[in-house]
Chains A and B, each alone.
Chain A
């Protein structure tokens, strides 16, 4: 059966008739999931209807016009964007039934335990050990993960571990779901150079994970992790950005409202950055158009590379332009950063100094610009790969 837009509108009407959108928020979200209107491209029974992904927009528009509650997707982005596709692809029926519904409703927040202090760009070098406690028993996990958004709020984590150190690194990993409330899980805020802590470090000490929580086969963790990472960049929310969005808007506003800041040299630099910002915006627009006709190009890599450099250049320029004001900053004190844990970056709502410092993360998070250049050179341009010293060596014998 092919689902049409009219079918979906009918199903939304039924949902709204049986469940008051102004009533209990969580009850409504559960009912939406059970009606297959959570993510229509998911299978029936798991919040979807096996419909084309693009039709979700029809459902969302209908529900928005009825002022129905949402699952606050920004708060649960890691669950929706990374954990859910991985559970769907590699999970057992029991795992899918157990985890997907509370994940989607937001009752259970998920976080991602991948990066380690010794495994950043080279994720496959990770060393968090999972050892089986007897045949068929639990797994016992020890190690440290880092750069974990929302670990302090999360009930579950997706976790990649080293289960066989005696084989080359890509072969000896196993992927799990981890109950963050288990004994031995310790979450500490990771204070970053802006002064606050968006992220966490997670220490795992003799944490027991039942084998039921394993996603995919033993030793197949790298392949499972690829599903997670491929989905990391698929989720591009919202509509196309208008001209002068983002960092350039703050600088342009300062330039317009404060003639005393203007110099000839700064004007040329301002316009150079304005041009770069507009070029990056149009590239993003072109990428969307390619996605819409089902022909995604590698433009996303160009956009990420350009965005990181541009944000850094613009925010640096903004401080120069402001002069003395650029010397000031926000409250660095310990009380503030411990109590305020931003779930999302409010880039434009903060001070210019914060923007300058926070933008330094743009060329590191989600893949460093250096690794991105390698990827472009090798996968897009077909240039030779890096000479590798780690492909055939057992993980335990690699220099660390």
Chain B
């Protein structure tokens, strides 16, 4: 039976990551960076990815990793969700690494695990895991070169390498492309701390790492692993929104009382807590299934997205509302969480799409 608790080692890791983020990425610093040209703090990334080894947690020691698993990786994702710090963790450490491991791109795995490079999947962030026949076709390969445009790609502007699903004729394939050989146009992004860009390949050279069924399954593994780990990020975000809101309800007085003494607000907080509590069990189950290669991983990941997305969005929306006027300002962190929560809910498939997919997976077919 899946272990849904946290081990002592995981709690120690959590504590290290939390201390690092509190020290190097307090929210005023996170917010300030969103209005500079350097959203990602390279020193923070080095500390997280290299010094704490977060980039290689799920990678075996033989491939320059830490030999832990996606469970430990998920604890880092929770803490990153909690801080809304901008890092390429989801795109590079989770999805690109999961894909490279599955595709057997050993050299790339080593470079990702040691954080020598970061990489991103050249797919729209909104793409979720799906069945056969859903392989992306935005990029085509001919005469040894890649051409096409992929919109709304996350973690790509700072990436060194892009992992590109494309069609060679009708055949699915996966290429690694040097990011410098592409055009990356920034787009205005709802989420300030996970910005998107449109990536254009104009006869770019690439290195083939998988084709056919291997390419299809590598993409699915990346999306499923991403969905499970994104749920952990959503859990951390929701937990922080809950705590921030409770702190505010205890310190804010109106009509001569702490506003947290009003039952209308207490009951909303109790419901939020219950949602976060359930989200923890669901997210923990998903990352455990992914870590163990459990046959239930596809169900668990879609379940986690279908459950955690609405919980995180509601927590962030309640955080704004219950802070009142201050929660609607730029100088309060609530908006960073709201934007991340809403973008996360769309990322890797909306809750509604995951519900539809679950229907297929658990034999509860749609109408018609």
Q: Which A residues fall within an 8 A CB radius of B?
A: 240, 252, 255-256, 259, 262-264, 266-268, 270-272, 274-276, 278-280, 282-283, 285-286, 289-290, 293, 298-299, 301-302, 305-306, 370, 372-374, 376-378, 380-387
Residues of chain A with a CB closer than 8 A to B364's CB? 252, 255-256, 267, 270-271, 274
Q: Which of B278, B352, B359 contacts A280 (CB 8 A)?
A: B278
A271 to B356 CA separation, bound complex (whole angstroms): 7
Complex interface residues of chain B between 253 and 289 (CB less than 8 A to chain A) = 257-258, 260-261, 263, 266-267, 269-271, 273-274, 277-282, 284-285
- Is there an interface contact between A275 and B306, defined as CB atoms closer than 8 Å? yes
A378 to B246 CA separation, bound complex (whole angstroms): 11
Q: Which of A270, A271, A283, A386 contacts B277 (CB 8 A)?
A: A283
A255 to B364 CA separation, bound complex (whole angstroms): 7
CB distance from A318 to the nearest CB of B (A): 14
- Is there an interface contact between B3 and A279, defined as CB atoms closer than 8 Å? no
Known: A267-B366, A274-B364. A373 touches B266 (CB 8 A): yes
Residues of chain A with a CB closer than 8 A to B235's CB? none
* B303 on interface, CB distance cutoff 8 Å: yes
CB distance from B159 to the nearest CB of A (A): 33
Known: A268-B352, A381-B246. A275 touches B274 (CB 8 A): no
Q: Which of B3, B267, B281 contacts A282 (CB 8 A)?
A: B281
- Is there an interface contact between A373 and B270, defined as CB atoms closer than 8 Å? yes
Known: A282-B285, A286-B5, A372-B270. 13 other contacts (CB 8 A): A240-B1, A255-B364, A271-B356, A279-B307, A282-B278, A286-B281, A299-B281, A305-B270, A374-B270, A377-B267, A377-B270, A380-B270, A382-B246
Residues of chain A with a CB closer than 8 A to B285's CB? 282
Most chain B Cβ neighbours within 10 Å, of A255, A266, A267, A278: A278
A206 to B280 CA separation, bound complex (whole angstroms): 54
Residues of chain A with a CB closer than 8 A to B362's CB? 274
A370 to B270 CA separation, bound complex (whole angstroms): 10
Q: Pick the 7 closest A-B CB pairs, nearest first.
A: A377-B266, A271-B355, A373-B270, A262-B367, A384-B261, A376-B270, A282-B281
Sample 27 A-B pairs with CB under 8 A, ordered by A number: A259-B365, A262-B366, A267-B356, A267-B364, A271-B306, A271-B355, A272-B355, A276-B307, A278-B307, A279-B282, A282-B4, A282-B278, A282-B282, A285-B1, A286-B5, A286-B281, A289-B4, A289-B5, A293-B5, A299-B281, A302-B278, A370-B267, A376-B273, A376-B274, A381-B269, A386-B263, A387-B261
Complex interface residues of chain B between 292 and 342 (CB less than 8 A to chain A) = 303, 306-307
Residues of chain B with a CB closer than 8 A to A255's CB? 364
A252 to B1 CA separation, bound complex (whole angstroms): 24
* B186 on interface, CB distance cutoff 8 Å: no
**Interface code B140-183, partner A: CB below 8 Å = 1, 0 otherwise?**
00000000000000000000000000000000000000000000
Question: Closest chain A residue to B266 by CB distance?
Answer: A377
- Is there an interface contact between B249 and A271, defined as CB atoms closer than 8 Å? no
- Is there an interface contact between A290 and B266, defined as CB atoms closer than 8 Å? no
CB distance from A181 to the nearest CB of B (A): 43
Chain B interface bracket (under 10, 10 to 19, 20 to 34, 35 or more): 35 or more
CB distance from B249 to the nearest CB of A (A): 6
A302 to B285 CA separation, bound complex (whole angstroms): 17
- Is there an interface contact between B278 and A306, defined as CB atoms closer than 8 Å? yes
- Is there an interface contact between A271 and B358, defined as CB atoms closer than 8 Å? yes
- Is there an interface contact between A383 and B367, defined as CB atoms closer than 8 Å? no
Q: Which of B261, B278, B356 contacts A279 (CB 8 A)?
A: B278
Complex interface residues of chain B between 339 and 365 (CB less than 8 A to chain A) = 352, 355-356, 358-359, 362-365
* B131 on interface, CB distance cutoff 8 Å: no
A76 to B235 CA separation, bound complex (whole angstroms): 41
- Is there an interface contact between B352 and A299, defined as CB atoms closer than 8 Å? no
Residues of chain B with a CB closer than 8 A to A252's CB? 364
Most chain A Cβ neighbours within 10 Å, of B257, B274, B364: B274
Most chain B Cβ neighbours within 10 Å, of A264, A271, A384: A271
* B190 on interface, CB distance cutoff 8 Å: no
- Is there an interface contact between A374 and B273, defined as CB atoms closer than 8 Å? no
- Is there an interface contact between A383 and B284, defined as CB atoms closer than 8 Å? no
* B368 on interface, CB distance cutoff 8 Å: yes
CB distance from A147 to the nearest CB of B (A): 24
CB distance from A14 to the nearest CB of B (A): 34
Residues of chain A with a CB closer than 8 A to B356's CB? 267-268, 271
Residues of chain A with a CB closer than 8 A to B352's CB? 268
Residues of chain B with a CB closer than 8 A to A283's CB? 277-278, 281-282
- Is there an interface contact between A290 and B250, defined as CB atoms closer than 8 Å? no
A372 to B271 CA separation, bound complex (whole angstroms): 10
Most chain A Cβ neighbours within 10 Å, of B266, B277, B366: B277
- Is there an interface contact between A382 and B250, defined as CB atoms closer than 8 Å? yes
- Is there an interface contact between B266 and A374, defined as CB atoms closer than 8 Å? yes
A305 to B268 CA separation, bound complex (whole angstroms): 13
A272 to B261 CA separation, bound complex (whole angstroms): 33
- Is there an interface contact between A381 and B270, defined as CB atoms closer than 8 Å? yes
Q: Which of B1, B303, B367 contacts A275 (CB 8 A)?
A: B303
Residues of chain A with a CB closer than 8 A to B242's CB? 381
CB distance from A160 to the nearest CB of B (A): 27
A256 to B363 CA separation, bound complex (whole angstroms): 8
Residues of chain B with a CB closer than 8 A to A299's CB? 277, 281
Residues of chain B with a CB closer than 8 A to A274's CB? 355, 358, 362, 364
- Is there an interface contact between A290 and B273, defined as CB atoms closer than 8 Å? no
Residues of chain B with a CB closer than 8 A to A293's CB? 5
Known: A286-B4, A384-B260, A387-B261. A279 touches B281 (CB 8 A): yes
Q: Which of A259, A262, A374, A383 contacts B250 (CB 8 A)?
A: A383
Known: A268-B356, A275-B358. A380 touches B266 (CB 8 A): no
Q: Which of B280, B303, B306 contacts A286 (CB 8 A)?
A: B280
Question: Closest chain B residue to A301 by CB distance?
Answer: B274
A240 to B3 CA separation, bound complex (whole angstroms): 13
Question: Closest chain B residue to A252 by CB distance?
Answer: B364
Question: Closest chain B residue to A378 by CB distance?
Answer: B266
